[in-house]
Structure 1
């Protein structure tokens, strides 16, 4: 028997109908009552009732509810597609939207996908994970690498199909799908070095996520590969307006970035840890009278396509295979449905894309 919760409920109700405990012509308890008696969510009950209906055991009647119409299956029910929950912190054109493109395109004919976002709130993340426990699998982009929702620990204990997207949760036997963030940080720095820049800075948000830490490591590795000493003064990791439910304003960050740039006049190139951070950094430089890329160069980690905005300055950036991340995340969940407990670690390469914000020194 399939180990998913809704199929367990289906099998139990089917057995009760065939044994005559739930007689033909009688109405089933409400979805809420069934959820309470089985100790599962209403979503799980809806899936189980859909299987009973597809097999011909029950019919849904307006203003009455689900009624038993046969004690034997009257039609061959098509195999139900698994339902996968996808919980992201947020998504936009710089990162996330194209992940969903890959995920949703890959799900056609294979799985149903239910999508939610947490906006970085821990309590909402915990609530949504618990809400989706009755689904066949889960894809989660955690809001932090420092805080692990208790509901995740329970899913891991149950070997529930689960894939963590774009984060590393150290110490947990859990499938992950992410980009090579160390390689991305290294690519960005090496591009500036190849253009003749000797002193370069790194600017990131104040967020506590593994991807930013890995990008920092790659940035430092690039210095070591060149035999350059990395100066901690060349790093600013306190952009606050870009983190979830931030209280700092963009103006606050621009003011802080201007002070950082003025305090490090030797820097001729910068790596922005995210697209939004790169935008704030460019604004700070422009307000200081520094032209991009004539006076300073900026490489962004992530960037939207800006396909319909001819006036937008296209950042030199490191591109992630976002559709590939979505496809790999879905594949990881399906692999665990086929083989419960299977752990898959997937790391996708990144690509340096030249743009209009870097120039030779």
Structure 2
């Protein structure tokens, strides 16, 4: 693999200093001039200069610039790890925490990771992207709050071919590397499990979020109907859970009431796919409100669920699990690959797995 651009700039300047082309006391060219000379961004030059300072070759002095102070390294480190910014909407044990474990484990000895959360707010996402640019982060990993809104700062990063990876989303039309699960497969696995248990009329319940992962899961749900020869009925969907989206305008009780009416209107449904764990919990609450037990009367497959290994009092959901550790590792690999080959774009899709729990059972005769 080719060396990252910042490493090439570092090596080029280090060799000049050690040969004496840039003697002790010499002021290095301005950052803009170095960026033009090496054909890289100013951010890349800043990182290389930071490496030279850390190794003891130069000092960076206010209003003067970078001055050579030694023709040899005076510290043991002549390489600095790249700084990677990571912005997620939020994270919990149902999705996100394990992904961050994978990312941080993969970063040991390879990168310094700076983590922030946007809480799904557009203004905060834009602010954090600007903040990381000012920090001089060498690369960015972003889990956007929406697939329908693209922060202006993102367009600039793409234009400058700044190393960037989008997690769990697809921003259609932009040449951006993405890392996600096979969400079409996930929706299909959930529906197929219910069909295999003998359920014929199944419903899909999701949040009202505008993200491509939900759309892909819906696609898989529809495909599974066709694969099993069962008619698909759009009336069996409820895609308007709102208390689980960022900054909700409705309460949990409002959603449970709406789900209760949905269940009353579709009494023929015996199985359901919940688009995410929190949605599945609300759906179960609505079922119990109507006296419908899970799984005796109704089966629910959740897309994602936390690990309840140490708590046997909690009903474990049958769910489709994502390889969250793999997502985190793949995201770091992808952004580091772009440091070595700027402008490269790759789409990484990881498989999902059905995990049978306590919320599904064969349909009652």
SS at match of 1:343: coil
**Inter-partner Cα distance in structure 1 for 2:68 and 2:340:** 33
**Residues 156 and 173 in structure 1, CA contact (< 8 A), matched pair in contact too:** yes
Task: Give RMSD over aligned pairs.
Answer: 2.9
Match of 2:283 in 1: 281
SS at match of 2:174: coil
**Residues 165 and 329 in structure 1, CA contact (< 8 A), matched pair in contact too:** yes
Deviation readout 1:128-154 (Å, 9 max, x if unpaired): 111112211111000000001111111
Match of 1:117 in 2: 117
- CA spacing shift, 1:2–1:211, aligned 2, 3 Å: closer
1:156 deviation in Å? Answer: 0.9
Q: Which portions of structure 1, spanning 4 or more consecutive aligned residues, are displaced by more than 3 angstroms?
A: 1-5, 14-23, 43-51, 66-69, 71-74
Which 10-residue stretch deviates more, 74-83 or 250-259?
74-83
- CA spacing shift, 1:151–1:69, aligned 2, 3 Å: closer
SS at match of 2:145: coil
Match of 2:105 in 1: 105
Gaps of 5+ in 2: 29-40
1:48 deviation in Å? Answer: 4.0
- CA spacing shift, 1:19–1:56, aligned 2, 3 Å: closer
Match of 2:37 in 1: none
Which 10-residue stretch deviates more, 122-131 or 208-217?
122-131
- CA spacing shift, 1:322–1:194, aligned 2, 3 Å: same
Select 2:267's aligned residue among 265, 271, 288. Answer: 265
**Inter-partner Cα distance in structure 2 for 1:3 and 1:110:** 15
Match of 1:84 in 2: 84
**Inter-partner Cα distance in structure 1 for 2:248 and 2:72:** 55
Match of 1:57 in 2: 58
- CA spacing shift, 1:215–1:224, aligned 2, 3 Å: same
1:306 deviation in Å? Answer: 1.5
**Inter-partner Cα distance in structure 2 for 1:11 and 1:243:** 50
Give matches, 1:285-296, under 5 Å: 285-296=287-298
Match of 1:332 in 2: 334
Match of 1:152 in 2: 154
**Residues 25 and 68 in structure 2, CA contact (< 8 A), matched pair in contact too:** no
Match of 1:308 in 2: 310
**Residues 162 and 333 in structure 1, CA contact (< 8 A), matched pair in contact too:** yes
Match of 1:131 in 2: 131
Q: TM-score w.r.t. structure 2 length?
A: 0.85
Match of 1:70 in 2: 69
**Inter-partner Cα distance in structure 2 for 1:354 and 1:206:** 26
**Inter-partner Cα distance in structure 1 for 2:51 and 2:73:** 14
Q: TM-score w.r.t. structure 1 length?
A: 0.86
